[in-house]
Amino acid sequence: MLGEATTSWQAKRREGTRQEILSAAWAVARQHGLAALTLREVAARVGMRAPSLYSHFDSKHAIYDAMFEQAWSEYEELARESDATVPAEPRAALRYLAWRFFDFSVADLARHQLMNVRTIPDFTPSAGSYAPAVRVLDALHVRLAAIGITDGADIDLFVALVGGLIDHQWANDPGGTRWARLIDRAVDMYADALHLPRSDISSSDESATDQEER
Amino acid sequence: MLGEATTSWQAKRREGTRQEILSAAWAVARQHGLAALTLREVAARVGMRAPSLYSHFDSKHAIYDAMFEQAWSEYEELARESDATVPAEPRAALRYLAWRFFDFSVADLARHQLMNVRTIPDFTPSAGSYAPAVRVLDALHVRLAAIGITDGADIDLFVALVGGLIDHQWANDPGGTRWARLIDRAVDMYADALHLPRSDISSSDESATDQEER
DNA sequence: TAGCTTCTCCTAACACGATTAGGAATCGTC
DNA sequence: GACGATTCCTAATCGTGTTAGGAGAAGCTA
């Protein structure tokens, strides 16, 4: 009955196979599509049969749930890492934030669908899995506040703007750059609307830090 | 072997049950969600068993396909009807177009998902069903051209902007107005970026034609 | 009217999903 | 060395979309 009966290395091993399963699930999702993921295939990739997965996850949705959390944690990590690199100048910062999320979202369809599109019928992330997503959004609030953007409506508009570009990039030109090209313009448009100070010095400063040849 | 063996009233009756099936499908989709639609339930609503639907549709996807076409045709019709009401002044016209599509999309989740979100695994609309959507987009091009917006990138930006607002309205505040409130601002922001002439007369002209109390 | 074809519906059945029940092997711990 | 938990298995259930094959009605042709 006691939960602590398992030794620590047992727990570690258990966690290991859990990760193996998740990793297999990601592979399947990327290959066949997020919604086409089947327990049989995931199980096969880790050398199991489908029912055995239930020793590690309560249900298929629980797997999606864990993937959801992983995806947002992944972005949270990336954001944290690159946080020091965010330019100080407001407009450059906005561009940076927009590009960061855009690139991340556009790099992996399955991940993007899981994070931002309700692709899976009936699936709603649990509160726990939602936590990283909330933290990311909180961090964005802080970032934007540093620029002077604190109004909720302004933030919503920024989010919708970038999100719209991502969705349309995936929907209408997957793998291309048709909507990516619009990001800088979109951000400037937004910055103008918010009367952010213009950086008159030059248009090619640190904003081009980790954006290659677009 | 000849297809014309059926009389015209037979064809009419056949078309009738086809519509009945589609109408039942919409009802199920609206009630249980688009993806949760099952052939058994649709069939039950029209007094049939699931396999009998195959006399009228090749597959479940064919039903989705017909629904997709209906949805876009519906919007096309609405757009055509209200076309005469589109204000002449550029900014008012943009607001009008944005609101028109926003309201339509926000009125019906299942319809919106089918039209604009890839919710159904493996489902891709056929070329035929896509036609109304293409016509709608063409009509938008014409409309925008009348305002002086002809650059493809500009159009893409407008579409992404409005689409982003709709998606976020559904995702984060379904039934609310949190993102709806942003539309006018978003459109103005866009119009400013395109250097559209400002309507200095007053801010409450015909743009409020069929928008009630928002 | 008889015979035929065609159309539309049916019941059975299949394949393949997720999931549950129940058992065998493994492996620490007493 | 026996116990108990853990982790895997096979077998079976249930709900999907879909196919096979047949029954009955209704039209057209003689």
Do A161 and A78 share a structural domain?
A: yes
Going by pLDDT thresholds of 50, 70 and 90, the confidence category of residue B91 is very high
Range of the domain at A120: 61-201
Residues of B in contact with A163 (CB under 8 A): 164, 167-168
pLDDT at B52: 97
Q: pTM of this prediction?
A: 0.89
Cα of A192 vs its chain's centroid, Å: 27
Do B18 and B104 share a structural domain?
A: no
> How far apart are the CA of A11 and the nearest CA of chain B, in angstroms?
36
Residue A38 pLDDT > 50: yes
Residues of B in contact with A165 (CB under 8 A): 160, 164
Residue B200 pLDDT > 70: no
The reply to whether A176 touches chain B by the CB within 8 Å rule is no
CB A112 within 8 A of CB A119: no
Do A136 and A31 share a structural domain?
A: no
Q: Domain holding A28: CATH number?
A: 1.10.10.60
Do A17 and A109 share a structural domain?
A: no
Q: Is residue B91 part of a domain?
A: yes
Integer distance in angstroms from CA B8 to C1' D27?
12
Q: Is residue B131 part of a domain?
A: yes
**DSSP summary character for residue B156:** H
Q: Is residue B120 part of a domain?
A: yes
Do A43 and A15 share a structural domain?
A: yes
pLDDT at B14: 86
pLDDT at B8: 65
Going by pLDDT thresholds of 50, 70 and 90, the confidence category of residue A6 is low
Going by pLDDT thresholds of 50, 70 and 90, the confidence category of residue A83 is very high
User: Which residue's entry shows tokens 């933030």?
Assistant: A155
Share of chain A residues as helix, strand and coil, in percent rounded to the nearest 5: 70, 0, 30
Q: What are phi and psi of B177, to 5 degrees?
A: -135, 15
Last residue of one domain, picked from the residues A28, A57, A86: A57
pLDDT at B5: 44
Q: Side chain identity at B138, as an amino acid letter? A: D
Do A86 and A43 share a structural domain?
A: no
Do A186 and A101 share a structural domain?
A: yes
B29: nearest Cα among B71, B59, B1: B71
Provide the percentage of residues in chain B whose pLDDT is more than 70.
Answer: 89
Model confidence over A182-200: pLDDT tens digits? 999 999 999 999 999 987 6
The reply to whether A178 touches chain B by the CB within 8 Å rule is yes
Do B42 and B66 share a structural domain?
A: no
pLDDT at A144: 97
Last residue of one domain, picked from the residues B39, B57, B75: B57
Tokens of A30: 């990327």
Integer distance in angstroms from CA B54 to C1' C13?
16
Dmax over Cα atoms in chain A, in whole Å?
68
Model confidence over A120-136: pLDDT tens digits? 988 999 999 999 999 99
Q: Domain holding B183: CATH number?
A: 1.10.357.10
**In chain A, how many domains are there?**
2
pLDDT at B6: 52
Last residue of one domain, picked from the residues B57, B75, B99: B57
A105: nearest Cα among B59, B61, B164, B23: B164
Do B44 and B72 share a structural domain?
A: no
Q: Is residue A208 part of a domain?
A: no
C-alpha span between B176 and B173 (Å, rounded): 5
Residue B3's nearest nucleotide, by CA–C1', is C6
Minimum-distance CB partner of A168 among B159, B168, B182: B159
Do B14 and B105 share a structural domain?
A: no
Do A28 and A120 share a structural domain?
A: no
Higher pLDDT, B201 or A159: A159
Do B121 and B65 share a structural domain?
A: yes
Tokens of B173: 């505040």
pLDDT at A12: 75
Average pLDDT, chain B: 91
**DSSP summary character for residue A51:** G
CB A129 within 8 A of CB A66: yes
Residue A205 pLDDT > 90: no
Going by pLDDT thresholds of 50, 70 and 90, the confidence category of residue A207 is very low
Model confidence over B39-86: pLDDT tens digits? 999 999 999 999 999 999 999 999 999 999 999 999 999 999 999 999
Integer distance in angstroms from CA A28 to C1' C12?
35
C-alpha span between B197 and A147 (Å, rounded): 29
